[in-house]
Amino acid sequence: MTTKTTCRIAGDIDQLSRVQLEEVIRGLEPQGSKHGIDFVAAADSEFLKGSRALPSSPERLALLMSRLLDGECDALVLDAPLLPARLPSGLTIGALTRRITSVDAVVANDGCILDELPENALLATASLRREAQLRYYRPDLKIVRTQGSVDSMLQKVKGGSVDCAVLAAADVERLNKQEFVSELLTNQVCVPAAGQGALAVLIRSTEEQFRDVVQTINDAATHAMLRAEWSFLEHVGVDASAPVAVLASIEGKAIELEGMVAFPDGSEKILCMVKGAVGNEEDLGSTLAKEILDAGGREVIEEFRLA
């Protein structure tokens, strides 16, 4: 009887991360059975439980990736928008899962959409990217930047401490709470973060026994879209903390890439779009970055860096 190899997959310990981890394990289990590999959730690490760093923070991500590098797990599931521009030496992306809803969502009482919010309404969001774009679209809104889980954001709205919240639609969808969404925002209002809607599975670069199996859940179209989006960020020269956004879409053999930079106070927003052929993702990202920077984005980025 052949002994199966066990691949321990880890994620963060908050509810959303657990759901994302379970999604990946479900996708891998049928493939693992064909290759003699059991994919199991890794036991939570005590040092991670005791960490004061918030989920999704750079400090938390560094802990998770060090956990993988140190061999406490064999694969790590992360929300793709959280990936750093450069992975630590020794780690590689084994797979990017099929992207689900990539845009941002509005959660408000009584199904109220953004345009229906009263003047000076209080809006909660967790990112400068969203804040800058929403200030541009509705300068009257009073925006509160707040970190927290999907449930905590929903509770703020239901409890009346804010009039609405804007968060990633994919997060709400994965937690099966779509009934609370009153609107999905278009790019004209709020371009999403690079990678939003996809999950990344990281592995150690030397782990060839798991690489081939993990790659079976890699979605080629999602990988192409994210290559274009990450190329844009690389050539603009900022990370996910900046008021910069980008979204790629594929139709047939064509890829469309729309990018945005905005002043943090929402006083100006620059939106550009380029189109090209699938297979030229890196060049497309570079082209879009140049257009954005030449259209005034360079000044926006400089102001952000000096802030």
**Tens digit of each residue's pLDDT, the chain (307 residues):** 456 789 999 999 899 999 999 999 999 999 888 888 898 988 765 556 667 777 788 888 999 999 999 999 999 999 999 998 889 999 999 999 999 999 999 999 888 999 999 999 999 999 999 999 999 999 999 999 998 899 999 999 999 999 999 999 999 999 999 999 999 999 999 999 999 999 999 999 998 888 989 999 999 999 999 999 999 999 998 877 889 999 999 999 999 999 999 999 999 999 999 999 999 999 999 999 999 999 999 998 888 776 6
pLDDT for 189-227, tens place per residue? 999 999 999 999 999 999 888 898 999 999 999 999 999
pLDDT for 17-30, tens place per residue? 999 999 999 999 99
Q: Which residue, among 64, 67, 69, has the nearest Cα to 91 in the 3D structure?
A: 69
For 272, other C-beta atoms within 10 Å of its C-beta total 20
> pLDDT value at position 46?
56
Distance linking the first and last C-alpha atoms of the chain: 63
Alpha carbons 87 and 252: distance in angstroms, whole number: 31
Q: CA triplet 13, 14, 15: central angle to 5 degrees? A: 120
Asked whether 171 and 127 are in contact (CB, 8 A), the reply is: no
Give 3-state DSSP helix, strand, coil % of the chain, rounded to 5: 40, 25, 35
> pLDDT value at position 207?
86
Per DSSP, 296 falls in state: I
Asked whether 157 and 165 are in contact (CB, 8 A), the reply is: yes
> pLDDT value at position 34?
85
Q: Which residue, among 36, 39, 28, has the nearest Cα to 2 in the 3D structure?
A: 36
Q: At what angle do helices 220-236 and 281-292 cross, to 10 degrees?
A: 40
Element (H, E) at 250: strand 244-251
Question: Sign of the C-alpha dihedral, residues 297, 301, 303, 307?
Answer: positive
Q: Which pair of structure tokens corresponds to residue 170? A: 């994919």
Q: Which pair of structure tokens corresponds to residue 54? A: 């918030």
Helices (H), the chain: 15-35, 46-49, 58-69, 128-137, 150-158, 169-174, 208-214, 220-236, 281-292, 298-306
Q: CA triplet 259, 24, 192: central angle to 5 degrees? A: 15
> pLDDT value at position 1?
42
SS3 125: strand
Per DSSP, 80 falls in state: G
